[in-house]
Amino acid sequence: MYDKPYHNDILNDKSFLITGGAGFIGSGLVEYLLKYGAKKVRVLDNFSTGSKDNIQQHFNNPHFELMEGDIRNPETCREAVNGMDYVSHQAALGSVPRSINDPQTSNDVNITGHLNMLVAARDAGVKRLVYAASSSTYGDHPGLPKVEEHIGKPLSPYAITKYVNELYGDIFSRTYQFHTIGLRYFNVFGPRQNPRGPYAAVIPLFVEAALKGEAPFINGDGETSRDFTFVENAVQANIKALLLPELKQHEVINIAFGERTTLNQLWEVITSLAGVQIPAQYRDERAGDVRHSLANIQKASNLIGYKPEFSVHQGLKLAYDWYAANLQQSAV
Ligand SMILES: NC(=O)c1ccc[n+]([C@@H]2O[C@H](COP(=O)([O-])OP(=O)(O)OC[C@H]3O[C@@H](n4cnc5c(N)ncnc54)[C@H](O)[C@@H]3O)[C@@H](O)[C@H]2O)c1
């Protein structure tokens, strides 16, 4: 992965803080930046959902620095941004069901932690902060494909937290002229996404089931659809947004592939990659889930020159091969 650069700038005079850099998307960014010679890549993570395994390949790299800490602590955020040119803020508690079970912790990490990072980055005068927003902000808006300016009511505490991130982004731009970019990710998947635990995402769960020869659960009738986005596309968007030379206001942009795949189609592709034929088991829809999701990615193309390079099929093949190699080692 990351065989092709998505930037024209020289990176060896630039330092980057990646919050949540031990997580799935954050560790992809770390890999990219170190591969292309960034002067410094600092990770701030408390390992609540991320893992040292995701970044340990860089521990001996002199350009890499690990800071174990929590974004809920403002002082930690200040220390983390110190000396950094760019901030990619990925740390948050993901998952709609997690936020339904424990809305307070999701609120503390995703809203207070986000605000702490905005204040710290503003005060340190960083050149750019890009943060992880979410397609969950579209909530109950029925329109498809989703365009940035038309959102509905949030359907979960998680969606509220991600919407509040955007509201703060807007206020920091208007009040302090600190302009940031929020990337509304649509179901990102790929190597290193955690298949374990009660809040695992659908693709790792399906791949793990296929590798074990088991039937996965599908919530609802399987015709629920998502705009599944391979992680390298999300990393490309982050790099382009971070290095965008000029920004006049807060911006929010959809980051997706721009194609809809149903859960039934997804299971079909994964079973064919695994060479098995197993019918899925169906159960009730999950609270807080939206029925369909599909992004219009025109704004991302216009604003930052985003052009997703990996289709869902290409991404699924890469993800499948990674899980097959890595999960089998740990005796699935
Ligand atoms: N994966 C997706 O499909 C998706 C979709 C929309 C938005 N997002 C957002 O993208 C970001 C990255 O998601 P991901 O899928 O890589 O998740 P992840 O759980 O793999 O990564 C999140 C990282 O943040 C760290 N973290 C959590 N709380 C922290 C805290 N209090 N202090 C410091 N570090 C903390 C975790 O340990 C983890 O390493 C998150 O903000 C998430 O809400 C992800």
Give the 3-state secondary structure of the chain: CCCCCCCCCCCCCCEEEEECCCCHHHHHHHHHHHHCCCCEEEEEECCCCCCHHHCHHHCCCCCEEEEECCCCCHHHHHHHHCCCCEEEECCCCCCHHHHHHCHHHHHHHHHHHHHHHHHHHHHHCCCEEEEEEEHHHHCCCCCCCECCCCCCCCCCHHHHHHHHHHHHHHHHHHHHCCCCEEEEECCEECCCCCCCCCCCCHHHHHHHHHHHCCCCEEECCCCCEECCEEHHHHHHHHHHHHCCCCCCCCEEEEECCCCCEEHHHHHHHHHHHHCCCCCCEEECCCCCCCCECCECCHHHHHHHCCCCCCCHHHHHHHHHHHHHHHHHHCCC
Q: Is residue 249 part of a domain?
A: yes
Q: Which of 39, 34, 36 is nearest to 58 (CA)?
A: 34
The residue to mutate among 19, 27, 32, 48, having the most atoms of ligand 1 within 8 angstroms of its beta carbon, is 48
Q: Which domain holds residue 23?
A: 15-189+231-257+296-308
Ligand 1 center to 180 CA (angstroms): 18
Contacts of 115 (CB under 8 A, 6+ apart): 168
The pLDDT value given to residue 332: 38
- The residue count of the chain comes to 332
The residue to mutate among 114, 134, 202, 238, having the most atoms of ligand 1 within 8 angstroms of its beta carbon, is 134
Q: Is residue 50 part of a domain?
A: yes
- In this structure, the residue with its CA closest to atom 34 of ligand 1 is 45
Ligand 1 center to 83 CA (angstroms): 23
The pLDDT value given to residue 186: 97
102-121: per-residue pLDDT in tens? 999 999 999 999 999 999 99
Ligand 1 center to 130 CA (angstroms): 14
The pLDDT value given to residue 203: 96
Q: Is residue 327 part of a domain?
A: no
Q: Is residue 206 part of a domain?
A: no
Q: State the CATH number of the domain containing residue 99.
A: 3.40.50.720
Alpha-carbon dihedral sign for residues 64, 69, 72, 75: negative
Contacts of 249 (CB under 8 A, 6+ apart): 173, 179
CA distances for 126 relative to 41, 113, 131, 244, angstroms? 14, 17, 14, 13
The values of phi and psi at residue 87, to 5°, are -125, 125
Angle made by CA atoms 293, 299, 302, in degrees to the nearest 5:
145
Burial of 196 from C-beta contacts in 10 A (0-12 / 13-18 / 19+): exposed
Q: Which of 184, 211, 217, 220 is nearest to 271 (CA)?
A: 211
**One-letter identity of residue 45:** D
Q: Is residue 328 part of a domain?
A: no
The pLDDT value given to residue 162: 98
Strand pairing report for 251-255 and 217-219: unpaired
Q: Is residue 96 part of a domain?
A: yes
The values of phi and psi at residue 222, to 5°, are 90, -5
Q: Is residue 7 part of a domain?
A: no
The encoded tokens of residue 78 equal 């200040």
The pLDDT value given to residue 331: 44
What's the number of domains the chain is made of?
A: 1
**One-letter identity of residue 207:** V
d(CA 268, CA 254): 27
The residues lining ligand 1, judged by C-beta closer than 6 Å to any ligand atom, are: 20, 22-26, 44-50, 70-72, 90-94, 109, 113, 132, 134, 185, 187-188
Q: Is residue 204 part of a domain?
A: no
Flag residues of the chain having pLDDT under 50: 331-332
